[in-house]
Chain A
Amino acid sequence: MTIQKTFNYQKEIEQIKTQFNFDFVALALVQSTNQLFELKWTYATGNHSNRFRRIVLRTGKGVAGNVLKTGKPMLVEDMAPSLMKNDLHNYLLIVGEGLKSVGAIPLYKSNRVHGILLVACREGRKLTATQFTQLKQAIGPEFGPFYNKEMFRL
């Protein structure tokens, strides 16, 4: 808890961006822990605009929404326009920032998704599955524990 409070997220995501050579890294964290929690993009680096910061994430909408809903990491190596054709409005971050390969990881706190780390490249297939696995391993506990399937069995 205390680590998380003093943890400099902005510096940390910038470091991830350089380390993996990503074009865009953003972190969404639960805003108010009281009754009605909201998930918003609080930290970002490599962004063109700040419009996405106003968006309140909803479960099941878009890539981050899917991660929030399923609680599992998600990787889309190539964001083809046909994928988003019917619900383009749910992919405003991806379209607005021109992201082509996108990966998102849920960050947990007391068995609930407490945040989402989204990394992306503006080039299709630049973010690969191996890179994504490396990233998952590199995420420190300061971000909030990253649970995978094995941990659920405990």
Chain B
Amino acid sequence: MMRINEFQLTDLLIKMYDNSAEAIFFFDRVGKVIAMNNAAQQILDTEVLKRMAEGDPKAICMTCKGYTNEHELQTCMSCYLSNPTEDLSSFQVYLDTVGKGIIPYTASYQTIDKENGIRAFMLRDLTKQYRTQEMLNQRTMMKSIIKAQEDERKRISRELHDGVAQEILSSLVDIRVLKYMNIDDEVLKKVQQTEGSLMHLLDDIRHLSVELRPATLDDLGLEAAFRTHFKWIEKNYGLIVHFSAELQSKRYEGEIETVVYRVCQEAVFNALKYAGTDDINVRLFEEQGFLELLVKDEGVGFDVNHNQPIGTGLGLYGMKERAELVDGQLETRSLIGEGTSITLKIPLLHSSSEGGPGVENHNRG
């Protein structure tokens, strides 16, 4: 055990009192402030300081906005100052501070000198800790929201594909049988029209299913899913996507594939809506342990720092959020008149386990 003499200890305590970021107050038996350190003086209003110097035991109440008990977040019920019998070694209190407004503090209120009734009130700022907590919560929340959305889409997509589409197909077969029965020309013509409509309907439902979540992504991987998607984009929106994949049909972790697919989908859709161009380039490749996606157009471009987007502005934010889920980085570069390029970089950690058996169906279910 380390031994220090009394003098050194006093020195250390004084240093702590002077330099600590924690606010320290000393109260006497009647609730008068006898001393406070620099940190304490900084958070208090001049009016409060003046009243404290005058010895007003109620001065602290001008700053204190209540503490947290089992019933309420901010309460004055059985005040910690006037009711020091409870265990007050750690509790939460809200103070109205200069410059920062009402913020939470972790406080302790303990008797340090029983004979004279001197008590020490120490406060530690909680804002930073709260912010970290909040960000952590937000990230976990975002992760589960995105996961819930993907799962739900997968479920509906499969239902459409395996249930509804199959039923329509069997009706279609019935109608085709009808064509070979002994019916007159007028009926035959109508039957052919109905067959056409049903085929269209079937096509639409398949598109809807793929749009929600492509089964190809789970079964065959990114490359195949992208090729189908881009073909569909060209057919529906007239935008030509020049796609080059340098992955040799390699498979990745389900979460990574989903992120890459969704980010690319969003980026291409943005280009389609706002770039005002006829064709875009998409490149998918692996480099130095990173899976990279590049979506580039030579359209009108936009001001990256401009904070009022034409659309909802959620697209870019969502892409970033998704990228962060797999520790990826998203970079948006754009100049007005010179087009936009979006780069997604995802680190590949478990490169050895890829492509092995059992990976094919990792995303199913």
Contact = CB atoms under 8 A, between A and B. Distances in A.
B235 to A, nearest CB: 5
Interface in A66-93: 85, 88-89, 92
Interface of A: 35-37, 49, 51-56, 58-59, 85, 88-89, 92, 95-96, 110, 112
Interface centre among B195, B196, B269 (most CB of A within 10 A): B196
Nearest to A41: B238
A110 B189 CA distance: 10
A54 B238 contact: yes
B302 to A, nearest CB: 15
B235 A56 contact: yes
Interface stretch (B126-134, B140-148, B153-161, B197-205): B197-205
Interface of B: 189, 193, 195-196, 199-200, 203-204, 234-240, 269, 272-273, 276, 278, 311
B352 to A, nearest CB: 41
B90 to A, nearest CB: 51
A88 B311 contact: yes
15 contacts: A36-B203, A37-B196, A49-B278, A52-B238, A54-B235, A55-B238, A56-B236, A85-B311, A88-B311, A89-B272, A89-B273, A92-B238, A95-B273, A96-B276, A110-B189
A51 B199 contact: no
Nearest to A81: B310
A58 B204 contact: yes
Contacts of B199: 35-36
Instruction: Rank and list the top 8 A-B pairs by shortest CB-CB distance, nearest first.
Output: A54-B238, A55-B238, A51-B238, A88-B273, A51-B278, A56-B235, A36-B199, A89-B273
Nearest to B192: A35
Given A51-B278, A55-B236, A92 B189 contact: no
Contacts of A89: 237, 269, 272-273
B247 to A, nearest CB: 28
A32 to B, nearest CB: 10
Contacts of B200: 36-37, 59
Contacts of A88: 273, 311
Contacts of B189: 110
Contacts of A52: 238
A92 B193 contact: no
Given A54-B235, A89-B269, A110-B189, 14 more contacts: A36-B196, A36-B203, A51-B239, A54-B234, A54-B240, A55-B235, A55-B236, A55-B237, A56-B236, A88-B311, A92-B272, A96-B276, A110-B193, A112-B193
Contacts of B276: 96
A49 B237 CA distance: 13
